[in-house]
Structure 1
C-alpha cells in the first residue's frame, strides 16, 4: 500500500513537473518588437519596466542604441538586435563589423541577454542592399566568434513572405530567388542559426480577400480546410518550412521575428480584430502544438509591436500596430506569460 502510494505520488510529481516545464517553455515563446518611430513614446527605462511588469521576456530592437541597451542590463530579457539597413554596406568590411560588435555587443554582453543578431530586415533580392547581406552576416559572425560569444548569440537575417512562391498548399512552398537565398540558408545551417521570418496573415488576407476567409486569418475558423490547416499563420509558416526542405535545410528552425494586426487605418483593421488576432496568436504560439509540418513545441514569436508609432511611413495602418498606447495603457487585455 505504501509502495503504491509512493509510486502514485511520484507519477503526480512527474506530471506536475512536466506541466511546469511546458508552461515555462510556452511563456518563453512570446516576445514583442520595440519600434521607436514615434515622437510621444516613453523613456527607454520605462519601456523595459513595462516589458517586465507584463511578463514579456523577449524584445526585438531594429538598431543598437546605448540608452536601450543600458536599460536592458540585468533585466533578463532576451534580445534580437538588428544591424540596420543603412549599416549593411559598411558591414561588408570585416574591421567595420568587428567595431560594430565591439561597440554594440561586447560592452553589454555580461548584463544583456543577446540572443540573435538580425543582419537586415526584409531585404529583398531586387534591392540594392541584398548584395551586402551574406558578407555582412559572415563578418558579424566572425566578430561574434572572436569575442567568444558564438555560444550565446546566433547571427541571422529576417525575411518576409515575398520570398516564398507557391505558398498554397503549404507543402508546395519554394524560395523564389534561389541564388540569393541558398547561400544565406547554407550559412544558417553551418552555424546552427535559425531563419528569422516576419509572418503577417493580415497582409495576406487584405491582398487576397476573395480566397482567404477572415476567420482563417484570425485563428477563429472551425475545423481544418481541404489541405489540413485551421489557420493562415500555420500555413504561412509551413510554406517557409517547405521551402527550407527543398533546399536541404529541414533542420533549420524558424523564429517568427514579427507578426501583428493593426487596430485602425485599413481593411479589417479594428481593435476587435487586432485583439482577437493577438490573443489567439499568443495562445497558439505558447500552446505546444506547433504546426502541421512541425508538430509539438511552442513557436518562438515576436509580436509587432509594443507601441503605435505615429512617425512611421507607409499606409495609415502601419501606425496602428501597437499593443500599448504611448501613455503605456494596454490596448488589449492580453496575457503574455
Structure 2
C-alpha cells in the first residue's frame, strides 16, 4: 500500500466518522507510519549487467527479480528481449543509452527514433522511470561533447510523446568527478569537470530530474587503506568520526550533495545508480565482506545521510550476476549477487 493510498484512506475515514477521537488519530498515524516504512524499504534496486556467456534468459532474470521482491532494475542498454520480459512486471526501470549511441542523439530525429523504438512501445506496461544519457563519461572523453545535446533531444522527444510526467532524463557520474570529499561539506566537482557539468546541472534543475551517482566505498577503501578502515567502509564502525560520520557511503554521498550545492543544484535529489562490493579479485574482496556490505547497505538506505537525515536513498546494487566477460580489474567480474544458476551468492533480504 503506497503512501498516497494511505492518505486517501485517512481522508475518507475522517469524512465518514462522526465521532473521531484521539485513539482514532493514533491508529491512523500508526498505519501511515507503516506505509512510510514500507515505502522506504522499496528504495533498493539491482543493476542487470549482461556481459557474460553463462547467464540465464532475460525472462528468467525478470522472474528472479520478482521472486526476490526486487522492484527496481537498471538496464545498461535497451535490450529489447529484456524490455519484453519486463512487460507487466511492475519493476521500475533505469534505462541507459548505450555509450556507442550517444553521438547519434545529437541529431534530434535520431533521438525521436530512439524514443519511438525503445520507449514508446513499452511505456504502457514497463515502468521506465529514468533514462540515463551517459554513464561515467569524463570531461576529456570524446563522448562528453554529446551529453548535453543528447539530454536535450531525448527530453524533447519524451515531451513530444507526452511521457515527461512518467520519465526523467539524467546522467550517472563516477565519484572520481568529486574532489575534496573529506570532510564531505568540502566536496566539489574537479576543475576539469566544472564547465562540462554546469550546463547539465542547469538542465536537471529546469526539468526536475534527479542526479545519478555511482558510489563505491570499496574503491575508496582500496585506494587509501592507510586512512580508511574496513569497518568504516562496511558500515560496521561504532560511533562517529571527527566530522560526524559513521560510514563511508554517507560521507561519499554527502560530498556529492555538497558539490551540487556549489553549482546551483542544491535542490536536486541524488539517486545512487550503482553501489557494490566484489567477492574476489582484489584487496578486501571476499564473500564475507561483500555479504556484509550489501546487507548493511540495504538496511541503511532507509534512513538517509547526515546532510539528508530521514530521507530514504533510492539505491541500485551492483550487480545481479558476476559478468565473466567483463574487462578491467579482476574485481569487475565478481560483483554479482546471484550465481549463473540463479542461486543466491549471499543470504540477503532485499525487502
Which of 231, 244, 251 pairs up with 2:260?
244
CA distance in 2, matches of 1:182, 1:28: 31
SS for the counterpart of 1:158 is strand
Change in 2 beyond 3 A, CA 1:74/1:226: same
SS for the counterpart of 2:182 is coil
Task: State the Cα distance separating 1:126 from its structure 2 match.
Answer: 1.1
Gaps in structure 1 of 5+ consecutive residues:
none
Are 1:173 and 2:187 an aligned pair? yes
What's the counterpart of residue 315 of structure 2? 301
Are 1:78 and 2:107 an aligned pair? no
Which of 269, 292, 313 pairs up with 2:285?
269
Highest relative contact order (Cα 8 Å, sep 6+), 1 or 2? 1
What's the counterpart of residue 246 of structure 2? 230
- Is the contact made by 2:218 and 2:233 (CA closer than 8 Å) also made in structure 1? yes
CA distance in 1, matches of 2:37, 2:48: 24
Cα deviation 1:133-174 (Å, max 9, x = unaligned):
111110000100000000000000000111101000000000
- TM-score, with length taken from structure 2: 0.93
Which of 125, 147, 165 pairs up with 2:139?
125
CA distance in 2, matches of 1:20, 1:118: 32
Task: State the Cα distance separating 1:19 from its structure 2 match.
Answer: 2.6
Over the aligned positions, Cα root-mean-square deviation in angstroms equals 1.1
Which of 25, 30, 49 pairs up with 2:39?
25
Task: State the Cα distance separating 1:120 from its structure 2 match.
Answer: 1.1
Cα deviation 1:214-243 (Å, max 9, x = unaligned):
100000000000000000000000000000
SS for the counterpart of 2:306 is coil
Cα deviation 1:293-329 (Å, max 9, x = unaligned):
1111210000000000000001111000000001000
SS for the counterpart of 1:258 is strand
What's the counterpart of residue 114 of structure 1? 128
- Is the contact made by 2:279 and 2:285 (CA closer than 8 Å) also made in structure 1? yes
CA distance in 2, matches of 1:44, 1:9: 50
Which of 332, 338, 341 pairs up with 1:318?
332
Which of 38, 50, 64 pairs up with 2:64?
50
What's the counterpart of residue 188 of structure 1? 204
What's the counterpart of residue 295 of structure 2? 279
What's the counterpart of residue 147 of structure 1? 161
Are 1:98 and 2:98 an aligned pair? no
Cα deviation 1:174-196 (Å, max 9, x = unaligned):
01121001001000000000000
CA distance in 2, matches of 1:190, 1:151: 14
SS for the counterpart of 1:128 is coil
Cα deviation 1:50-101 (Å, max 9, x = unaligned):
0000000000000001110010000000000000111000011000000000
SS for the counterpart of 1:88 is helix
SS for the counterpart of 2:316 is strand
SS for the counterpart of 1:312 is coil
SS for the counterpart of 2:301 is helix
- Is the contact made by 2:52 and 2:323 (CA closer than 8 Å) also made in structure 1? yes
1:198-209 to 2 correspondence within 5 Å?
Answer: 198-209=214-225
CA distance in 1, matches of 2:337, 2:232: 22
Task: State the Cα distance separating 1:8 from its structure 2 match.
Answer: 5.1
What's the counterpart of residue 156 of structure 1? 170
Q: How many residues were matched structurally?
A: 331
SS for the counterpart of 1:294 is coil
Gaps in structure 2 of 5+ consecutive residues:
1-18
CA distance in 2, matches of 1:7, 1:158: 49
CA distance in 2, matches of 1:285, 1:278: 11
What's the counterpart of residue 211 of structure 1? 227
What's the counterpart of residue 348 of structure 2? 334
Task: State the Cα distance separating 1:21 from its structure 2 match.
Answer: 1.4
